[in-house]
Amino acid sequence: MTDIETTVLSLGAQADGIAEVDGETIYVPYVLPGERVRIAREEGGRASLSKVLEPSPERVSPPCSHFTRCGGCTLQHMAPTAYAAWKREQVAVALKARGIETEVEPLVAAPPHSRRRATFALTRTKKSVTAGYYARGSHDIVLLSECPLVVPEIERFIPRLGELIQPGLSRRTRASVLVTSTANGLDVAVTGGKPLDGPLRADLGGHAQAADVARLSWDGEIVAERRTPEIDLSGLRVILPVGGFLQPTQEGEAALIALVRAGVGEARRVVDLFAGCGTFSASLAGTAAVHAVEGEKPALAALERAARMYGPGFGLKPLTTEARDLARRPLLAEELNKFEAIVIDPPRAGALAQAEEIAKSKVPVVASVSCNPVTFARDARTLLDGGYRLDCVTPVDQFLWSAHVELVGIFRRG
C-alpha cells in the first residue's frame, strides 16, 4: 500500500498521534502534535510511521538505542517540558470528563535510571537465551543491551538473566521474570518456566549462587534465598513477599508519601486502605495510630512482622492490620467514622464500592492515591457527590516515557 502524508493533530491517551485520513481517525506511534509525517496504514485504524517530514520543535533524540523497537517506552522522543505538560493534561482531561474542574499541580518528575523493578520476557533458542521486553504489539522479544528506565544494578544484570534461569527454560515456553532491587540485592521472581522438580531446583540454586542474587523464586516457590530481600519503608525494614507490590521508584514513593502526609496533616487516627506492605502506614505511624487494611495476606504479614521487630525502636504509634478484600467487602461508613483520615491506594480498576462508603462517612479528610486518572475521576465524582471537596490534585510520574501517570488527590469534608 502506498504511504500517505498527513499532519498529526494531537496525542491520544495512549500517547499515539491522532491524524485524520479520508475522514477516518488514524493512530500513529512515535509522532508529536503538528508534525508532518509519512505513514503506512494498517488495519483497525492504525498506521506505522515511515518518516517524519516536518519535525516538531519538541522532538528530541531518544536516550535509548532500542526505542521504537522495544515496546517499553512510547515518549522518549518528546522534550521534557512538553512531556510533563502532556501528562498533566491527561489528569485534567480525565477529571473534566466527570465534570470535575480543579487546578492540577505541576508533574512531579521521575529521573532516568530510577525504576527499581522491571518485568522481562525470556525465551530459549537453539544456542542461547533471549532476555528483553516485548516489541510493540508483538510477541517478539527485543534483546536488550541497555535500559535507561531501570536502576543501574538491574541494567547491569540484564545480560546475566538468561544464564541465571536457563536450566528452567524450554523452546516451547516463555518466562516472565520480575527483577526487584532491594536493600540486600536483587530479588528475581520467575513465572512460566519448566515445572520444578528436584534436579531443576538444585540446578537453579547453583545458578542463583553464581549470580549472587538475594532470592530466586519459581512460580511462587522460593528455590534459593542467600539473603533476605528487604525494603526500607520510612525506617521499617520490610521483607518483600514473593511477587509482592512495591512502588516502582524510590523517588516517586517519597513524593507520594510527602503528599499524603501533607494531606492527612495532624490526624491522630488513620485508616490505610489497600495498604500493601505499608508504604503509607509505616510513615504515618510515626505520628498517628494507623489501621492498615489489605486483601493480600503475604503483604500484610510482612508489614505486621516489620512493625513488631522495628516499631518499638522507632517510637511508632499503634499499627494494627486487617486482612480484607475491599473490592468485595469495603469498610462501611460506620467503621470508617472512628478515624480522622483515610488513605486509599487502590489498583488500576479503582475502588468504587469503597468510595461509595467513604462518601457516606463523616471522615474529615481523604488522601486518594491512584495509578489511573480515569478510575480516580470516577471515584472522585462519588466523593464529591457525597459532600467532599477536592482540594488539590498532583500528578507523579513513576512510569517515565510511558502514557501512565500516578496522582494524589486530597479531599476534605464541607
Spatial separation of the C-alpha atoms in residues 363 and 366, rounded to whole Å: 8
Q: What does the pLDDT read at residue 313?
A: 65
- Residue 394: HSE in the Cβ half-sphere, 13 Å Cα cutoff: 18
Q: Give SS3 for 401.
A: coil
Spans of the chain below 50 pLDDT: none
Beta carbons of 41 and 22 less than 8 angstroms apart: no
Closest CA to 196 of 223, 176, 214, 174: 223
Query: Any idea which residue has 488500576 for its cell?
Result: 348
Question: CB count, 10 Å around CB of 362?
Answer: 11
Round to whole Å and give the CA distance between 91 and 104: 7
3-state secondary structure of 165: helix
- Segment 120-162, tens digit of pLDDT: 999 998 888 999 999 988 889 999 999 999 999 999 999 999 9
Distance CA 18, CA 276 (A): 38
Helix, strand, coil percent values for the chain (each to nearest 5): 30, 30, 40
Contact 339, 365 (CB under 8 A): no
C-beta neighbour count of 191 within 10 angstroms = 14
One DSSP character per residue, 251-287 reads HHHHHHHHHHHHHHTT-SEEEEET-TTTHHHHHHTTT
How far apart, in whole angstroms, are the C-alpha atoms of residue 321 and residue 316? Answer: 14
Residue that the C-alpha cell 485534567 belongs to: 92
Q: Which residue has the cell 512531556?
A: 83
Inter-CA distances, 414 with 105, 358, 385, Å = 22, 14, 11
Which cell is 71 given? 515496546
Residue 14 in grid coordinates: 495512549
What residues act catalytically? Answer: 371
Q: According to the model, what pLDDT value does residue 171 have?
A: 83
Residue-level pLDDT at 338: 97
- Whether the CA torsion 369, 374, 375, 376 is positive or negative: it is positive
C-alpha cell, 108: 512531579
State the pLDDT at residue 57. Answer: 98
